[in-house]
Each structure stands twice: as C-alpha cells, then as structure tokens.
Amino acid sequence: MPSTSVPPPAVDALPRQYVRDPDFWIALLAWSVIAFSCAQILLLSFGRDQGIYAVIGEGILHGQMPYRDLWDFKPPGIHLVYALAQALFGRSMTAIRLLEVAGLLASVAAWIRLGDVFFGLKRVGLLGAALAALIHAQLDFWHTAQPETFGGFLTAWALLFTARATQRGRHPSDGRAGGIAQWAEWAAVGFLFGCAALLKPPLGGGALVCVAYLVRAERDRSERLRRALAPLLAAGLASVIPIGLCALWFRLGGAWQALHWTMFDFTPGYTKLGWEDRSAPQMFYQALHEGFFRFSALAGAGVIAAAVIAPMHSREREGMFLVLGVMSVHFAGIAMQGKFFPYHYGATLPLIAFLAGLGLYKLWRRCLTGGAGGVLAYASFIVVAAAMWEPARDLPGSFWWRSRVRLAYLFGQASFETREMLDRTLYYVADYSLDADRRLAHTVRRLTHAKDPVFIWGFEPVVYWLAERKPASRFIYDVPQRARWEQAAARAELMRDLRRTPPEVFAIQSRDIFPAVTGALSDSRRALDSFPELRELLNNHYARVEEVEDFEVYVQKELATRRGDVSPDAE
C-alpha cells in the first residue's frame, strides 16, 4: 500500500522561532548601567582632595618627593596613582578619570569571573559589577578617584586570585594543585594587598582573611603542615615587595624623616579627632550600618535577598563568607578613621554590591516564574529602589539631574560652550567651588611669571595646579598649622619655607571651616590671629590688591607699588 505521508516542508518555509535566554535582558541592563556609569565618571572634575593628589602627582614626575617637598597626610599610594595618570594621559582633570574608568572596567571583569567561580554564573557577577559601577558614579566628583577607589579595584582582583587558587585541584580541568600557576596566584594575592596597603593601610588587611582562607583550603587538601602554610609564605613575601620598594624610594629620595613625621606624629592626632566621646563598638556598628544601608537601597535589599533565598551553587556560602570576611576588615578600618566620609567606603561598596548582585539575580529568577507580571514587578522594584536613595546628598541637585546635565554636554545638547561652564554648574559643595579656584588661578597667573613662587593660606591646593605655579612651601594647604596637634612644629617649618622662598603672591581664604579635619571652628582668615609670625610677615611685606570670591589676594609691596595699586606705606 503506498505511503500517504506528507513530506516535510522546506527549511525556508518553516515559521521563524525565537528562543532567547531571559537572562539576556538582565545582562543588557547591566552593561548599559556600566556604560552609563563610565560616561558619568569621565566627566567628573576635581574636588579638593583630587587637587591635592594632582599637585603631588605632578611633583613626583618632576623629581619631587611627597611629604618632604609637597605635603599631604594621605599614604603615598594615591600620589603615585595620580603621577601614573598624568604620565599616561597628560596633564588634565580627565587623566585620572581615564585611569579610574580603566580600573573600574578591570574590576568588572574580576567580578564577572568571581561570580562564575562561586555562584556558577558569570551574569551574577556582572549584575553585582553593574550595581558597583552605578554606586561609584553616584558618589560623584568629591568621593571618587580617592585611595579607596583604587584600593577597591585591587581588592576585586585579589579576591579573584584567591578563588582561582583554591579552585585548582577541585576538578581535573582546573590544573594541578601546587604547580607554578598556583604559587603565582598566591603571590598575586599578597602583592595586590600590599599595593592596597600603600593606598590605605586597612585595605591591606584583607590579606589576612584571604590568606587564612587559602591556608585552610590547602590544609583540607593536604595533611602536610608545610604544604598548608605555602600560601602564607608566598603571599606574605609578595606583600612586602611594593611596601619595601616604596620605603626604599623614600630612603633614597631623602624623604624618610618627612614621611615618618607625617604618618606617626601628625596623622594619629587627625585620627583621634573622630574618637572623642565614642567607643569602638559604637564606631564599628556605625560603619556596618552605613555601609549596608546609607548608600544604596538596591544594595541593602540585594544583600538581604542573597542571605535569605536558598543557595543555588555549592560554593555560594563559601564565597559569601570570604567576601564578608574582607568586608569586616574594611569596616574595622573605617571605624578606626572615625570620620565616616562617603569615600571611606569606596573599597567596601563594590564588595557589598557583589553580594547584592547575587540576591538581585535570585529575585529575578523567582520573578520569572510569575510571567509578565513577575517581570514587571521586578522592573518596578529596580527603578523605585534605584531612585530611593543616593550615596552623595550634599551636591547640587540630584544625581539623576546631574547625569542629564553631563550627558547633554557630552552629546552637544547643552548650552555649555566650554568645560569650565559645566564645572561652574556642577562642581561645588559647602565652602568648595572649583570655579572660584579657577578664577583665583587666573588672577595668580596674571600677577606672576611662570617661575614665581606663590602661597595659598587655605585649603585649595588645586590653585597651584590650575595656575601652573610652584608653591613657596611644602605645605600646600594649611591644615597642619591650624590643627590642635603638632601645630608648633608645622608653623615653624612653614615660616622657614616662606623666609627661604618669599612668595610673589599671597592669597588668604575665608569660610573654610572643617572641625572634623582641624579640630577647630575657625577659618584660615581667623586662624591668622593665633599665628603672629605669619601675620607679621603679611603686614610688613605684602599689600592687598584684590578679592576673588573667598580669597584675599596680596602681592609683595614693591610689586604693588610698581603696578600703582597701593602706596609704599599701605598695610
């Protein structure tokens, strides 16, 4: 009997069917957030701290030494980072932002791979990396490009090398345990944490957690004590390399004494300010609470979801406890500093975001079971939570308003003709105004020649960088002379500098009051009343010629007389 079956239609006659992984949309959202965040960061200008680092970084490129020739009380790592940025990308405010974005993208790669190791899915790490990038961008110009920023990038890779080292030997495809590659990974963990310690010493403390984790992994794998302690040896020796090289640089550069005075005499007094009338448990709790709930509602909700929803991978809890261990060291360091500035959390927030990414992914998979309604509920939650809270709330407008302004400028849709106009609109906070500093720099350039020394009695060292003029003293801002501790030594050193190199222009700042830094309620102008030597030098040798915003500008009386601004007897 002949067959009556109908032959199948040709392939090109079949209706096209689309099968798409629902995670595609979460990945698309994550990469979009990362791209948006990078664009925002590239358009950030300098805050006060960034100006300090830029001045010292440029000085390093010209053979000057931190602390001896250009003074700051932050560890030397951040000055070297700014020197590297200007060496690679030139002398501009964008240079450090380019390096910052490069570091951010490198850390995104680390988080993605770490998500694969501990959670079995790269997209979990990607989601956490996207949240970390968004929070970082939301910190804006004042709290980014800080020591903690770059320490966070190093920590991400240190965690990845830690995870990879313990992964070896678990499966045949992972490589032979105890090989050269594993020793290199142990050493990389120590080296990266050593570099982080040069940025902020507590950030190097993460090595204690990671090395303990590595030692335990080797102990479980081998019964020999020598084998179990191998990670400690490799990481410990490697961690000394960057610190030892930096110490050698200061020794050979003749700046060891200045470094010692700064780190062991001045800085402890600064740290002590935050501990007045407060206890260690109280400080640690504040750091813990702020870290999880001050900066992002999405981060807090995501961490809770990660903890309460059942694990989806065999190494999930292991990875969470490792990250939480490093995080606990960070919180201890934040509490020790006692200031709780938002940028102090800069290295810790990516760790929180990584764990939050796990929780947000778990919520996404749960919502998918609800069909279109579940997806809509998830999207609504993300939008509402993202807009609910911002990490930097003392800047002009909201983050989303500032973002629109920056994007409009980037695509030529704004009325800003120059970058300076954008800076004038966005980059000011409290007593700080980048526009005012720029106008003072223009005045300084007009009143001086290229090689003339100038001196700013205030807290605006970026003026030296903007004006391209060398400071008359190593004290590029006046905190040491205004602080309640080490004041006599700092004032004596300043007067020696100014007598040795008399500045052509002398500017005095008003309304720069920050008791959390100086321990006093007076501004630079009022501080002159308690500094008779400097006041006498000013009255005897300088004449006021103009005022720029919060700055009074003085020039040497001989110069002022030649210019016809004042008479020879003016005070």
Q: The domain that contains 441 carries what CATH number?
A: 3.40.50
pLDDT at 181: 87
pLDDT at 371: 85
Q: Which residue type sits at 343?
A: Y
DSSP state of 568: T
pLDDT at 6: 57
Q: Is residue 398 part of a domain?
A: no
Does residue 454 sit in the same domain as residue 520? yes
Q: Rounded distance, CA 370 to CA 379, Å?
A: 13
Q: Is residue 507 part of a domain?
A: yes
Kindly give, in sequence order, each residue whose CB lies less than 8 Å from that of residue 309, ignoring residues fewer than 6 positions away: 359, 362, 363, 366
Q: CA 327 → CA 207, 253, 284, 304, 495, distances in Å?
A: 11, 35, 12, 16, 44
Does residue 141 sit in the same domain as residue 197? yes
Q: Rounded distance, CA 525 to CA 541, Å?
A: 18
List b or e across 516-540, with b for residues whose CB sees 16 or more CB atoms inside 10 angstroms.
ebbbbeebbbebbeebeebeebbee
Does residue 357 sit in the same domain as residue 450? no
Residue where a domain stops, chosen among 328, 363, 388: 388
Q: Output the tens digit of pLDDT for each of the chain's 571 residues.
A: 455 555 555 544 545 544 467 888 899 999 999 999 999 999 999 999 999 999 999 999 999 999 999 999 999 999 999 999 999 999 999 999 999 999 999 999 999 999 999 999 999 999 999 999 999 999 999 999 999 999 999 999 999 999 998 876 554 444 444 578 889 999 999 999 999 999 999 999 999 999 999 999 888 877 677 777 889 999 999 999 999 999 999 999 999 999 999 999 999 998 888 787 788 999 999 999 999 999 999 999 999 999 999 999 999 999 999 999 999 999 999 999 989 999 999 999 999 999 999 999 999 999 988 888 988 999 999 999 988 888 887 888 899 999 999 999 998 887 888 889 999 999 999 889 999 999 999 999 999 999 999 999 999 999 999 999 999 999 999 999 999 899 999 999 999 999 999 999 999 999 999 888 888 888 999 999 999 999 999 999 999 999 999 999 999 987 766 665 554 444 4
Q: Is residue 419 part of a domain?
A: no
Does residue 452 sit in the same domain as residue 367? no
Q: Rounded distance, CA 559 to CA 124, Å?
A: 65
Does residue 122 sit in the same domain as residue 198? yes
Residue range of the domain that includes 207: 23-388
First to last CA, the chain: 123
The neighbouring-strand residues paired with 507 are 456, 553
* Angle formed by the axes of helices 93-119 and 316-337, nearest 10°: 140
Q: Is residue 133 part of a domain?
A: yes
Name residue, tokens 């999880």. 292
Q: Rounded distance, CA 137 to CA 156, Å?
A: 17
Contact 114, 316 (CB under 8 A): no
Q: Rounded distance, CA 45 to CA 26, Å?
A: 31
Q: Rounded distance, CA 144 to CA 46, Å?
A: 9
Does residue 369 sit in the same domain as residue 443? no
Does residue 435 sit in the same domain as residue 528? yes
Q: Is residue 308 part of a domain?
A: yes
Does residue 88 sit in the same domain as residue 193? yes
Q: Rounded distance, CA 159 to CA 34, Å?
A: 21
Q: Rounded distance, CA 233 to CA 551, Å?
A: 55
* Angle formed by the axes of helices 316-337 and 349-368, nearest 10°: 140
Does residue 134 sit in the same domain as residue 187? yes
Q: Is residue 412 part of a domain?
A: no
Q: Rounded distance, CA 130 to CA 299, Å?
A: 11
Contact 437, 458 (CB under 8 A): no
Does residue 382 sit in the same domain as residue 434? no
pLDDT at 431: 87
Does residue 210 sit in the same domain as residue 288? yes
pLDDT at 568: 41
Does residue 485 sit in the same domain as residue 350? no
pTM above 0.85, yes or no: yes
* Dihedral over alpha carbons 262, 266, 267, 272 (to 10 degrees): 170
Q: Is residue 423 part of a domain?
A: no
Domains identified in the chain, total number: 2
Q: Is residue 79 part of a domain?
A: yes
